[in-house]
Amino acid sequence: MPVTFIPLPSKFGKAKITIAARISSPRNHQADRPDPAHETMLFLHPVWADGGFFYPQFEDPILYEHYNLVALDLPGHGQTTVRGSVGTYTYDKLVDHLAAALKVLKLETVHVVGMSCGAICGFHLAAKHPDRVASLLTFGFRAGADGADMKESYGECRDLMVESLKNKDSASLDQVTTAMFEFGFGPAYARRFADFKDECMAQARSWSKGGSKEIEQRAHMIWNPPISRPTPGDEDLKAIRCPWLSVQDEDNVADVTAMMDQHNAVRAPSVPAGRCMVFAHSPLWMTLAHADRTNRLMARFIRQRNTTMLSPILGPMTAAPPSPALKTPSTAVSFDLGPPQSKHVGWADNNDNDDDGQLVQLAAW
């Protein structure tokens, strides 16, 4: 699937950020922009992955026949590029960049689907830009700030990433990818998705082409948001005005349930009650491991706009490992993890201070 590039407006200071996006519409599964006649699902991937993480959703007719599907490479990840300094990078800055990308794409509202750190991005997008989010579906959400051990692990991954990219040490860099896949799947599932893992390794190795400062900033943009994230407060929970469903593996259930209870206590009466569900015996990266069930859940939740009558989709169940023959992004929808070769969506307004940009087709890179 071609990758569309979305240059953000210059209001973000010296940094020039171009977001990479994979876009499908019901009329065109290799679209360069969403179809305004249909609602849009925005997919936000976990740390170290990219928009290709959601290939099982892009190939499922229960989703692509009814919605625009937009999967972004979060800043620092995949083929998204940053030229110039962004300063200290946090989830607060990240969601402002996401909101700007939605504006370029002329998306008034989206249904947000986030996985792990992408779920945290979706939460903060809904809290800071509530008018942009029609519904929020989080998978593997983490309610509070990570503990010291987890932050230390993030820091070790960051430092190993920087050192191995500067030294062009692919074997050491591959250790980060391996660690992230085992974190998301566990060893058994990670083996099942070995082809996808290899493609993610190739993407990470391509980052070595940057200079030292670019490598250091990329690492900072990937790892600092989860390291620096504070525990959300009541004001964040109260700011969310859309239906919210959080689907958890069997870790962090108590914390997320407590947060959802607090959200329901402080939400406005007009906001539907949020809900936390448990997907028993599933790995963290359940949208990949069990796409059949999670995709049906997504479709029903968006259609209903509430959290009732959803439990039969997920359980009770014992999740069996997927078939070894499961398609990878390349075999399923031809996601391109190589150099950018696709269309460029940009701003046609010469006034750098004007936020009313227009979509235009620019030359391919």
Q: For position 187, what pLDDT does the model report? A: 74
Residue 83 has pLDDT above 70, yes or no: yes
Q: Is 268 helix (H, G, I), strand (E, B) or coil?
A: coil
Q: What is the dihedral of CA 281, 70, 34, 61, to 10 degrees?
A: -30
Q: What is d(CA 75, CA 50) in angstroms, rounded to the nearest whole number?
A: 10
Residue 321: the pLDDT is: 39
Q: Average pLDDT over the chain, rounded to whole?
A: 85
Give the tens place of pLDDT for each residue, 104-156. 999 999 999 999 999 999 999 999 999 999 999 999 999 999 999 999 999 99
- pLDDT the model gives residue 328: 41
Where is average pLDDT lowest: 63-72, 152-161, 195-204, 298-307? 298-307
DSSP E strands, the chain: 4-7, 16-25, 28-31, 40-44, 68-72, 81-83, 110-115, 133-139, 244-248, 275-278, 344-345, 361-362
Residue 312 has pLDDT above 50, yes or no: yes
Q: Residue 308 — pLDDT band, cuts 50, 70, 90?
A: low
**Residue 177 banded pLDDT, cuts 50, 70, 90:** very high
- What pLDDT score does 218 carry? 97
Window from 9-23, 102-116, 319-333 with minimum mean pLDDT: 319-333
Q: Note the pLDDT of residue 353.
A: 38
Task: Give the span between the Cα atoms of 244 and 276, in whole angstroms.
Answer: 9
CA 153 – CA 6 distance, rounded (Å): 32
> For 195-210, what is each residue's pLDDT tens digit?
899 999 999 999 999 8
> pLDDT by residue (tens digit) across 238-254?
999 999 999 998 888 89
Alpha carbon distance, N-terminus to C-terminus of the chain? 16
pLDDT of residue 221: 98
Q: What per-residue confidence (pLDDT) applies to 315?
A: 54
Q: Which of residues 139 and 320 earns the better pLDDT score?
A: 139
Paired strand residues for 4: 21
pTM of the model: 0.86
Cα separation of 236 and 146, whole Å? Answer: 17
Give 311's pLDDT tier (boundaries 50, 70, 90).
low
Residue 32 reports pLDDT greater than 80: yes
pLDDT at 280: 85
pLDDT digits (tens, 9 = 90+) for 263-288: 999 999 999 999 999 988 889 999 99
How far apart (Å, rounded) are the C-alpha atoms in residues 139 and 286?
8
Tell me: pLDDT of 23 over 50. Answer: yes
349 vs 175, higher pLDDT: 175
316 falls in which pLDDT band (50, 70, 90)?
very low
> Pick from 113, 123, 108: which is nearest to 302 by CA?
113
C-alpha to C-alpha distance for 193 and 325, rounded to whole angstroms: 9
Q: Are 48 and 180 in contact (CB under 8 A)?
A: yes
Report the helix count and the strand count for the chain, using DSSP H and E. Answer: 15, 12
Ranking 37-46, 205-214, 232-241, 354-363 by mean pLDDT, the lowest is 354-363
In 3D space, the residue among 263, 224, 226, 233 whose CA is nearest the CA of residue 246 turns out to be 263
Confidence of residue 1 (pLDDT cuts 50, 70, 90): confident
